[in-house]
């Protein structure tokens, strides 16, 4: 039973929606109560009909005859009414329990999604997208099968079994025992078959997600594939995965094909037993033919609950495995925000003896960095590729965490500031641009917490030199830019993400090499534009080239994670060989 313990965490939902479950179970009971009357009425109807056929040959039996006929018709009507009532309550039991499981599914999906948003970057680096997607789709749907159908069928099995068997017992003890003998076998074999079906389904799901990933990567990398002439190897690979899927699907189809024949076989055996033993009892005069019919109906009524016991047990096991994965994930440590102070930036920010090492690296990405950032000044970070520019910017934007004493703002550890309040005052443009498959406008407005007027929008487009590009797009700013912005050039993507950042009412702007794909003329136009709005704001911009940083108040030179020089362009060009080298080499290129 301990394998089912993960399902305990769903009890809060059972409690939250208790009335749906309680009324649903009440409907299960009522539908069973009405269905139990049907075989009784059938037996009485048949026995009446037999009686009619016997007495119709006797003379002067008119009164008896019409009395029995009325009775038989009465039973017919009663069967109809019982069947209707049973149907009505079955409808409500589904409505209440199964439909309710959709509500819980909705709640759970939202709970998971909120959790995803709370986890930090490390988590996303360590988990595959496909896996995260499975959690929110497949696992939740497995759990829903437990909360809806499984609970409903268990309640149904319980009540129908008790009612039917006790009714059978009242009619005939011996026959009841005979009928019950094959049922545990039926239940067990269906359980085994369902388990096999589940395993088969799982394998197919995994294979399907391999295929989806392959197809997705192929489409994303179609340009590389075509230009390297790699079509045939990709095709072969896809074909192999397809074959594997076909093999697994055929295996599953074989097992699936067993399900109903198995049920029919075991049910057939029970029916033969009823007919044989029942026939003997009729011969002895202990049983009427109506009783035999009644028993066959009971048997039919028992088959489904008994079969579904096996099926439902397998479903519950599957749900439990899924809920365990969900629980593990919900238990993932969230980024706890230790800070509670409202962020403000009055004088300066400082990095003090800062070292930074990535988990999977054996050297420091930044070593012993000490810097001062004064409010209202502009800074440049320059260095070769891999020198630590992005790492430094990510630390400043609190994407990467550092020790309490290593990063201070106005003398207060930055960790003391509430993260959301801190972020609301930071505009960060990351080096590898991410765009959503939405319109240009919506991409710029991501995260905008207030109404943005058209003039403001036009202003940021002008500042990031996007205006003239937009004229070339069919729908202007409303143009949908395709998956991750495929329809934009590298420089356009960068300027778009710059525009997105400029729209923020930030104190500190952190731009990570965000003009690397923009031509020199446009770059200097943008830099000039930015200089007009830099007043009172703090700007930090990294670049592997010197050109965009010329006017910065201070430039930091990074070499392999170490800060080797600082000063303005004039100073560095005079005093620093490396900087001179960078400057000259780039002018040549």
Ligand X SMILES: Nc1ncnc2c1ncn2[C@@H]1O[C@H](COP(=O)(O)OP(=O)(O)OP(=O)(O)O)[C@@H](O)[C@H]1O
Among 194, 378, 391, 494, binds ligand X (CB under 6 A): 391
Closest of 100, 80, 83, 79 to residue 20, by C-alpha: 100
Distance, CA of 425 to CA of 501 (rounded, Å)? 11
Closest of 510, 574, 588 to residue 543, by C-alpha: 510
Span 494-523, contacts to ligand X by CB under 6 A: 513
Q: Does 490 bind ligand X (CB under 6 A)?
A: no
586 Cβ contact partners less than 8 Å away, ≥ 6 residues apart: 545, 546, 547
Tell me the residue number closest to Mg ion, measured at CB: 390
Residue for token digits 């899924």?
Answer: 322
Q: Does 338 bind ligand X (CB under 6 A)?
A: no
Distance, CA of 539 to CA of 377 (rounded, Å)? 7
CB of 516 to ligand X, least distance (A): 8
Distance, CA of 31 to CA of 557 (rounded, Å)? 79
Tokens of 475: 């729908």
* Backbone conformation region of residue 388, classed left if phi is above 0, alpha if psi is from -120 to 50, else beta: left
Residue for token digits 């109903």?
Answer: 260
Q: How far is CA 38 from CA 71, 83, 167, in A?
A: 15, 7, 12
User: Of Mg ion, ligand X, none, which one sits near residue 365, judging by CB under 5 to 8 A according to partner kind?
Assistant: ligand X
Among 361, 450, 474, 570, binds ligand X (CB under 6 A): 361
CB of 372 to Mg ion, least distance (A): 22
User: Of Mg ion, ligand X, none, which one sits near residue 184, judging by CB under 5 to 8 A according to partner kind?
Assistant: none
Single out the segment in contact with ligand X by CB under 6 A; choices: 222-230, 321-329, 383-391, 463-471.
383-391
515 Cβ contact partners less than 8 Å away, ≥ 6 residues apart: 494, 498, 523, 526, 527, 543, 548
Q: Does 35 bind Mg ion (CB under 5 A)?
A: no
Tokens of 323: 């809920």
Burial class (CB within 10 angstroms; exposed 0-12, middle 13-18, buried 19+) of 208? middle
Single out the segment in contact with ligand X by CB under 6 A; choices: 8-16, 68-76, 382-390, 492-500.
382-390
Among 31, 207, 322, 387, binds ligand X (CB under 6 A): 387
Residue for token digits 């919506």?
Answer: 442
Single out the segment in contact with ligand X by CB under 6 A; choices: 208-216, 225-233, 360-368, 564-572.
360-368
Distance, CA of 372 to CA of 193 (rounded, Å)? 69
CB of 374 to ligand X, least distance (A): 23
Distance, CA of 421 to CA of 414 (rounded, Å)? 11
Span 444-483, contacts to ligand X by CB under 6 A: none
Span 414-433, contacts to ligand X by CB under 6 A: 431
User: Of Mg ion, ligand X, none, which one sits near residue 114, judging by CB under 5 to 8 A according to partner kind?
Assistant: none
Distance, CA of 339 to CA of 409 (rounded, Å)? 13
31 Cβ contact partners less than 8 Å away, ≥ 6 residues apart: 85, 86, 87, 88, 89, 90, 93
**For Mg ion, the closer CB: 429 or 444:** 429
Among 192, 324, 544, 566, binds ligand X (CB under 6 A): 544
CB atoms within 10 A of CB 339: 19
CB of 371 to Mg ion, least distance (A): 17
Among 141, 431, 439, 562, binds Mg ion (CB under 5 A): 431
**For Mg ion, the closer CB: 318 or 389:** 389
Residue for token digits 């960060």?
Answer: 428
Among 279, 338, 386, 403, binds ligand X (CB under 6 A): 386
CB of 571 to ligand X, least distance (A): 22
**For ligand X, the closer CB: 431 or 439:** 431
**For Mg ion, the closer CB: 390 or 494:** 390
**For ligand X, the closer CB: 326 or 395:** 395
x/- map, 375-414, Mg ion, by CB under 5 A: --------------xx------------------------
Distance, CA of 465 to CA of 500 (rounded, Å)? 13
Among 318, 389, 398, 493, binds ligand X (CB under 6 A): 389
Among 207, 390, 443, 492, binds ligand X (CB under 6 A): 390
**For Mg ion, the closer CB: 71 or 431:** 431
Cβ atoms of residues 146 and 213 within 8 Å:
no
Output phi, psi for 362, to 5 deg.
-110, 15
What is 228-272 written as a DSSP string? TT-HHHHHHHHHHHHHHHHHHHHHHHHHHHHHHHHHHHHHHHHHH
What is 14-72 written as a DSSP string? HHHTHHHHHHHHHHHHHHHHHHHHHHHHHHHHHHHHHHHHHHTTSTT-HHHHHHHHHHH
Single out the segment in contact with ligand X by CB under 6 A; choices: 83-91, 128-136, 176-184, 379-387.
379-387
**For Mg ion, the closer CB: 10 or 558:** 558
CB of 385 to Mg ion, least distance (A): 7
User: Of Mg ion, ligand X, none, which one sits near residue 361, judging by CB under 5 to 8 A according to partner kind?
Assistant: ligand X
Q: Does 383 bind ligand X (CB under 6 A)?
A: yes
**For ligand X, the closer CB: 391 or 497:** 391
Tokens of 466: 């996007």
User: Of Mg ion, ligand X, none, which one sits near residue 391, judging by CB under 5 to 8 A according to partner kind?
Assistant: ligand X
Single out the segment in contact with ligand X by CB under 6 A; choices: 88-96, 274-282, 287-295, 388-396.
388-396
Q: Does 126 bind ligand X (CB under 6 A)?
A: no
Tokens of 379: 């800074």
CB of 429 to ligand X, least distance (A): 13
User: Of Mg ion, ligand X, none, which one sits near residue 19, judging by CB under 5 to 8 A according to partner kind?
Assistant: none
Among 385, 449, 453, 589, binds ligand X (CB under 6 A): 385
Among 185, 358, 436, 581, binds ligand X (CB under 6 A): 358
Cβ atoms of residues 398 and 420 within 8 Å:
no
Tokens of 471: 């004229």
Residues at the interface with ligand X (CB under 6 A): 358, 360-361, 365, 383, 385-391, 431, 513, 544
**Residues forming the site for Mg ion (CB under 5 A):** 389-390, 431
């Amino acid at each position: 039973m301990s394998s089912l313990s993960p399902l305990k965490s769903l009890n809060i939902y059972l409690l939250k929606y208790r009335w749906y479950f309680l009324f649903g179970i009440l409907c299960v009971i009522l539908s069973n109560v009405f269905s139990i009357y049907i075989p009784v009425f059938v037996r009485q109807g048949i026995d009446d009909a037999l009686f009619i056929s016997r007495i119709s040959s006797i003379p002067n039996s008119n009164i008896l005859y019409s009395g029995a006929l009325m009775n038989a018709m009465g039973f017919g009507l009663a069967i109809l009414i019982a069947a209707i009532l049973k149907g009505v309550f079955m409808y409500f039991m589904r409505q209440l329990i199964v439909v309710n499981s959709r509500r819980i599914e909705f709640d759970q999906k939202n709970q998971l999604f909120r959790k995803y948003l709370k986890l930090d970057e490390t988590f996303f680096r360590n988990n595959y997208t496909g896996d995260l997607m499975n959690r929110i789709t497949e696992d939740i749907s497995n759990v829903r099968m437990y909360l809806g159908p499984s609970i409903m069928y268990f309640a149904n099995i319980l009540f129908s079994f008790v009612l039917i068997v006790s009714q059978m017992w009242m009619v005939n003890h011996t026959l009841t025992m005979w009928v019950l003998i094959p049922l545990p076998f039926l239940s067990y074999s269906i359980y085994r078959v369902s388990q096999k079906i589940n395993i088969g389904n799982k394998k197919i799901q995994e294979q399907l997600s391999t295929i989806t990933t392959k197809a997705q990567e192929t489409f994303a990398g179609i340009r590389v594939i075509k230009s390297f002439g790699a079509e045939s190897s990709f095709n072969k690979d896809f074909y192999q995965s397809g074959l594997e899927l076909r093999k697994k699907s055929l295996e599953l189809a074989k097992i699936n094909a067993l399900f109903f024949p198995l049920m029919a076989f075991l049910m057939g055996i029970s029916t033969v037993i009823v007919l044989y033993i029942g026939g003997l009892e009729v011969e002895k005069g202990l049983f009427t033919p109506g009783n035999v019919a009644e028993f066959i109906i009971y048997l039919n009524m028992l088959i489904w609950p008994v079969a579904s016991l096996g099926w439902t047990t397998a479903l519950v096991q599957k749900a439990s495995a899924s809920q365990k994965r969900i629980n593990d994930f919900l238990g993932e440590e969230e980024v706890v925000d230790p800070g509670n102070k409202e962020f403000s930036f009055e004088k300066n920010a400082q990095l003090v003896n800062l070292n930074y090492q990535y988990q999977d690296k054996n050297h420091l990405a930044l070593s012993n960095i000490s810097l001062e950032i004064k409010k209202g000044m502009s800074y440049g970070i320059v260095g070769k590729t891999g020198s630590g520019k992005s790492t430094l910017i990510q630390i400043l934007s609190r994407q990467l965490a550092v020790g309490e004493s290593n990063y201070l703002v106005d003398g207060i550890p930055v960790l003391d500031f509430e993260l959301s309040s801190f972020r609301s005052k930071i505009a960060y443009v990351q080096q590898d641009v991410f765009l959503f498959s939405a319109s240009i406008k919506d991409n710029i407005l991501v995260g905008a917490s207030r109404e943005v007027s058209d003039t403001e929008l036009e202003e940021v487009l002008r500042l990031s030199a996007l205006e003239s590009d937009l004229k070339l797009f069919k729908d202007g700013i409303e143009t949908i830019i395709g998956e991750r912005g495929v329809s934009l050039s590298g420089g356009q993507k960068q300027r778009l993400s710059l525009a997105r950042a400029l729209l923020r009412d930030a104190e500190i702007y952190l731009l990570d090499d965000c003009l690397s794909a923009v031509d020199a003329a446009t770059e200097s136009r943008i830099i000039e534009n930015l200089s007009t709005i830099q007043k009172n704001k703090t700007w930090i911009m990294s670049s592997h080239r010197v050109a965009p940083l010329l006017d910065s108040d201070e430039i930091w030179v990074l070499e392999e994670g170490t800060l080797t020089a600082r000063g303005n362009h004039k100073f560095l060009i005079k005093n620093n060989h490396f900087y001179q080298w960078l400057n000259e080499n780039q002018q040549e290129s």
